[in-house]
Structure 1
Amino acid sequence: MRPSSLRLIALALACSAVATGSTAWSQEAPMRPLAAPPEPGAIALNTGDVAGSTGPEVWFEQWGDPFVRNVTLATLTPVLPEPGKATGAAVIVAPGGGFMFLSMGNEGWEVARALADRGVAAFVLKYRTRPTPQDPAAFEAAVNAMFAGAARPPAPTAQAVDSPFADQVADATAAFALVRARAEEWCVDPDRVGMVGFSAGAMTTLATTLASPSADPAFIGLIYGPLTAVEVPADAPPMFVALAADDPLFAHSGFGLVEAWRAAGRPLEFHLYQNGGHGFGLGNPGKTSNGWFDVFERWIELNAF
């Protein structure tokens, strides 16, 4: 792909926030310190650390959900169907968080359990995040600046022009390799391993699809991610997209990605829901976006993924 495609993805999050004038994220609900929860079965991906790391991993709680930041060790946690229920399909789940933190509950473990309940092997990817201040107040200020658009991603350098998401793409690529290497043990068909991502996780999913030939996802799901147009490879995988029309970050920047996928003649399913906002995970009661997961699961099944 052309370098400009990844640059467009990298700028989409900040530029959308500028356009919509998002309010302070941390003002919506207080952040509270959280002891690191157990992560049974988490497997280190051994993809390296994070340049400029400011300290150890930090967990916090907001809206009753667990979040983690300063992730310097990428891991993959299998969440497998009950014996005899596995369909052979597998999905790597990438939570969002603006590359500053990860929404491990709402967009990670809960989604993985829902997939496993449907017979789909799920693998939660805790990918590396960008360094954030150890001080909670300084971290909140940094997050608010990001959502207000004041803190844009740095301009690509000559050394990183093709990979503004080098760490995240490397983590996702390693996750695909691990799932396929242990496919027999986990009752997974190595040809039916896909990926679904939320917000920044959707950006990671798309960047991995475009920039990592060895990842080669069988299908991808982009849930409330930016829809900036990219150059679509001739062999691009089938893509499922879900977005709420009232999403304050990404609902007002056009649908270039959807149009590009369709123009390239690649399989596509796109759902623009009337409401749901941003970060709805499996869905919020009373919102039309609440039904997206059932549609996604049916899409996987009907396409024999």
Structure 2
Amino acid sequence: MLKPLATALLLAAPLCSVAQQILPLYPGPVPNATSYQMKEISVVKDGRVQYYQKVSRPTLTVFLPPKEKNARTGVVIFPGGGYVSESYEGEGVKIAETFVRQGIAAFVVKYRLPSDSIMVDKSIGPLQDAQQAIRTVRENAGKWGLDRIGIMGFSAGGHLASTLATHYRESLIGDVAGISLRPDFQILIYPVISMSETLSHKGSRTALLGQKPAPELIERFSNEWHVNHDTPPAYITHTGDDRVVDVDNTLAFYEALRHHHVPAEVHLYPKGDHGFVLKLPTDEWMQPIFLWMRTNKWL
């Protein structure tokens, strides 16, 4: 069992109002790590971390609903930021707090950002952390009262979530002792899906794969090419006028899901550009997600 890096009483944590624990993601050495200790950068406003950069020590922040409201469902959240930063507050903590109000446990991952300085192979570092995150939640499911565990990702965090959803059979964190790395469902918000030349968000691709990635790396991390009949059901939302991550990423992933008969619900909005949910109250724009979860009996 992991020991908490920090424990706080409900409503008393300085980082976020309902977080119960901040856990180191790995109980021992971080895999695929060099000896270099990069200094982490955080941007704080009103006592809450808004963004992280240069992450080399991954953590899992735990948000649990009161026992009497527990829906026995958890969601592991991956904030976005082009694989160069993490929008920890807007695409992490606020989302987790909204899930908790619905009786859903939430777990915000501060994952390692790809760097040749701190990783032997930077292309797999974030995915290792994503796999370890769902492993940790599954290992603690009994203690936290969970029957179903899904994932959620924003922008590049959406790429990380969809990579986990399509590459869960290949453990990059060693022996998982029979624990499934497959999420029960995936929620993708204006996601980067592809690393192909025509679809990819170039900044995310360069950060993860380098300036001139080999064709096999592009293929490996273009998730629309790795959907199969066992890929978890998906909820995806995007805007048609997204000038950062082309909506064709969502359309390509949906097409692959549909052709493999994977249940998927897509909400497309004509306007709003990238990060449109950050301009809206979370309780408002997340209502269709809660309805989708209830329809599928995850709530």
Query: What residue in structure 2 maps to residue 246 of structure 1?
Result: 241
Shift of 1:77: 0.7
Amino acid at match of 1:205: A
Per-residue displacement from partner, 1:49-98 (whole Å, max 9, x unpaired)?
A: 75596731111258x97101111111111111122101001100100011
Q: Is 1:302–2:295 an aligned residue pair?
A: yes
Structure 2 Cα separation of the partners of residues 92 and 236 of structure 1: 17
Q: Which has the higher contact order (CA 8 A, sep 6+)?
A: 1
Name the structure 1 match of 2:150.
194
Give the 3-state SS of the residue equivalent to 1:271 in structure 2. strand
Equivalent position to 1:106, from 52, 67, 90: 90
1:235 counterpart SS class? coil
- 2:78 aligned residue (80, 94, 98): 94
**1:167: how far off?**
1.1
Aligned partners of 1:187 and 1:290: how far apart in 2?
24
Aligned-pair distance for 1:301?
1.4
Which deviations, in whole Å up to 9, do the C-alpha atoms of 1:24-62 show, x marking residues without a partner? xxxxxxxxxxxx957761111123475596731111258
| Gap regions ≥5 residues in structure 1 | 1-35, 134-158
Q: Is the contact made by 2:162 and 2:193 (CA closer than 8 Å) also made in structure 1? A: no
Determine whether 1:70 maps to 2:51: no
Q: CA deviation at 1:231?
A: 3.0
Any unmatched runs of 5+ in structure 2? Answer: 1-13, 170-179, 195-223
Decide which of 189, 210, 217 is 2:166's aligned counterpart: 210
Distance 2:289 2:231 in 1: 18
TM-score by length of 1: 0.70
State the aligned residue count.
237
Distance 1:166 1:272, change over 3 A: same
For the pair 1:222 / 2:205, whether they are aligned, the reply is no
Q: Which amino acid letter does the alignment assign opposite residue 271 of structure 1?
A: H
* Residue of structure 2 aligned with 1:45, choices 22, 25, 30: 25
Structure 2 residue 151 is the aligned partner of structure 1 residue 171: no
Judged with a 3 Å threshold, the aligned counterparts in structure 2 of structure 1 residues 40 and 73 are, in CA distance, closer, same or farther, namely farther
TM-score of the superposition, structure 2-length normalised? 0.71
TM-superposed deviation, 1:166? 1.1
What's the secondary structure of 2:225's corresponding residue?
Answer: coil
Instruction: Decide whether aligned partners of structure 1 residues 170 and 252 sit closer, same or farther in structure 2, where only a CA change above 3 A counts.
Output: closer
Q: For residues 193 and 102 of structure 1, do their structure 2 counterparts lie closer, same or farther at Cα, with a shift above 3 Å needed?
A: same
Deviation at 1:251, TM superposition (A): 3.1
CA distance, structure 2, for counterparts of residue 283 and residue 230 of structure 1 = 32
Give the 4+ runs in structure 1 shifted more than 4 A.
36-40, 49-54
Structure-1 separation of matches of 2:247 and 2:133: 32
**Residue aligned with 2:192, SS:** coil
Would you say 1:233 and 2:216 are equivalent positions? no
Match of 2:11 in 1: none
* 1:209 maps to amino acid: A
Does the residue aligned with 2:143 lie in a helix, a strand or coil?
Answer: coil
Q: Which amino acid aligns with 2:288?
A: V
Q: Is the 8 Å Cα contact of residues 158 and 193 (structure 2) preserved in structure 1?
A: no
CA distance 1:252–1:185, shift in 2 (3 Å): closer
Question: Which secondary structure does the structure 1 equivalent of 2:106 belong to?
Answer: strand
Change over 3 Å in CA distance of 1:225–1:212 after alignment to 2:
same
Q: Which runs of structure 2 are paired with 1:125-144 in the superposition (5 Å)?
A: 125-131=109-115
Tell me, yes or no, if the aligned pair for 2:60 and 2:109 is still in contact at 8 Å: yes
Q: 1:253 deviation in Å?
A: 3.5
In the alignment, residue 238 of structure 2 is paired with which amino acid? L
Of 166-175 and 89-98, deviating more is 166-175
